[in-house]
Structure 1
C-alpha cells in the first residue's frame, strides 16, 4: 500500500539536520558488539515500531550495561515527568528540532500521537514559539526550550511568565528534559544514527503515520459501514438518550439537509464531539464550512456556532471530557446557543 507523505517526510527537507556519516559504526547491530539483553530489547521494540530494530538501544548496548542504568532516568523524565503529557512532548519535539537530530524528531513525530498531538501541531513545533496557534503557556514553554538550547538558561522574562503556569517541580523537569534530549542528540549525531528504514510504516502502530485520515483511529471502511448500517440502528434513539446526539447540517455543495448521530458531551454551553473518524468526515467539513449548525440532545435542539477542531494542545484548558478524548483523538468543539 502506498503511504502518503506525513509531517516527518515534509520536514526532512529542512536544512539543519546533521549527523556524522553512518559508516563510523559499520558493525552497528551486531550481537558481537552489543550487550545481549539490550540487543534483544532493540529487536523487540523494532517489531512493535515496524523498523526491525531500535538503533538508539543498539548504540547504547556497545557500552556494556549503560542502557539499563540510563533507563530509570529516561522513565522518570519522560513518562514520569511532572509536566503534562502535552507539555512534555512539545518540549521534546522542540529540542529535537533545535539540535537537528533527525532520529529524535522522527520518533517523536509519531510518539506525539500518543500524547494527543495532531500532525498539524507537530508541524507548528518546527515553526517555533511565535506561531500564532499557540496558547500563551505553550508559547512560553517553547520559548524556554529555545533559551535553554541557545544560552543554557531560561531568561528572566520567560521565567517569570512560565512561573505563572508551571509548578517549581515542573520547571525543574523542563530543564532536565531538554538536557536529556540534548545529550541523546550528541550520542546519535556523533555516531551517524539516522531513523530506521520503514520505522512506523509497518507493524501494529503504523496508523500513527497516516496523514490522510485526519487523525482518525478507525479502519477506512468503517465510516461507510456506519452510515449504511449503524446510523440507521442508532438513529431512532439518538438525540433522545445520551451519549448520542444528532448533528443537523447542510451539504457544502448540494445544500441538502442531513442528520448525523454522534457521540457527544455537553458541558455548559460547549458541545464536545470526539472525532473517531478524524476531521475529514463529511459532517465535520459541512459544519466547519457553515460555521455552525444545530444539535439535538435529550430531545432539545439548539444552534451551535464557531465549530473548531482541536487536539490535546488546543484542548488543554477545556473541561475534563475534552482532555480525556484528546489523549488519542481530535475533537470538534462548538459554542452552544444559551437560550
Structure 2
C-alpha cells in the first residue's frame, strides 16, 4: 500500500466536508468511509470537488443501476482493479445482476443484446478511447443522448479510479457494505 487511509486522529472538519455529499454523517469516519474514500481524503480539496460528480454517476445518472454496474464491472476488470471489481460485484448484485451475469460482464460477454452493446462500448472506450461508429449507432437505438453521455463519463471515471486505486494500493473492504447512502 503506497497510500494508507488517513489515520483517525487526522480527520477534521475539512475531511468531513469533503465526504458530506457522498456519505451520511455516521459513515464519515475511517471505518465507515472504507479504504478508497479514507485514502482519497488525504487530498480533501480534490475529494470535495470529485464527490458531487461521482455521486451523479452513482445516484443521478440516466443509466439504470444495472447498466451502470455492467459498465463499471467491465472497465474494472479491464483495468485489473481488485478494489473496484469486489466493490461493484456487491453493488451489481444489489442492482439485480446475477453472479453469472457479473462473471460474464467481466469477460465481456452477455446473453442480452443490449447488455452486450454496453460491454462492447466499455471495451472500446477502454482500449481505443472512443466508441466505434457501428457500436454508437447500435447503442443509439436503445439509449438516449443523455444515457450515452452518462455511459462515456461512467467508463472514463471508473477507469481513472482504477488507475488511482491500483497506484495507491487500495485494498478491498471486506467488512464494509458497498452501497453508499446519501
- TM-score, length-scaled by structure 1: 0.46
| C-alpha contact 2:83 2:170 (8 A) present in aligned 1 | yes
Decide whether aligned partners of structure 1 residues 197 and 90 sit closer, same or farther in structure 2, where only a CA change above 3 A counts. Answer: closer
Q: Give the Å deviation of 1:197.
A: 3.8
| C-alpha contact 2:15 2:44 (8 A) present in aligned 1 | no
Give the structure, 1 or 2, with the largest relative contact order (CA under 8 Å, sep 6 or more).
2
Q: Give the Å deviation of 1:105.
A: 0.8
1:135 counterpart (95, 112, 131): 112
Decide whether aligned partners of structure 1 residues 154 and 55 sit closer, same or farther in structure 2, where only a CA change above 3 A counts. Answer: same
2:97 counterpart (85, 97, 117): 117
Query: Which residue does 1:170 correspond to in 2?
Result: 147
Query: Which residue does 2:168 correspond to in 1?
Result: 191
Q: Give the Å deviation of 1:32.
A: 4.7
Matched residue of 2:60: which SS?
coil
Runs of 5+ consecutive residues of structure 1 not aligned to the other structure: 1-21, 206-339
Runs of 5+ consecutive residues of structure 2 not aligned to the other structure: none
Q: Give the Å deviation of 1:45.
A: 3.7
Question: Which range is displaced more, 142-151 or 28-37?
Answer: 28-37
2:158 counterpart (181, 193, 200): 181
| C-alpha contact 1:83 1:173 (8 A) present in aligned 2 | yes
Query: What is the aligned residue count?
Result: 173
Q: How does 1:83-122 map to 2 (within 5 A)?
A: 83-122=63-102
From the two aligned structures, give the one with the greater strand fraction.
Answer: 1
The yes-or-no answer on 1:154 pairing with 2:131 is yes
Decide whether aligned partners of structure 1 residues 97 and 57 sit closer, same or farther in structure 2, where only a CA change above 3 A counts. Answer: same
Q: How does 1:1-339 map to 2 (within 5 A)?
A: 22=1, 24-26=2-4, 28-34=5-11, 35-37=14-16, 44-45=26-27, 53-129=33-109, 131=110, 134-200=111-177
Larger C-alpha radius of gyration, 1 or 2? Answer: 1
Q: Give the Å deviation of 1:46.
A: 8.8
Deviations 1:291-314 (A, max 9, x none): xxxxxxxxxxxxxxxxxxxxxxxx
Q: Give the Å deviation of 1:127.
A: 2.1
Structure 1 vs Structure 2 CA RMSD: 2.7
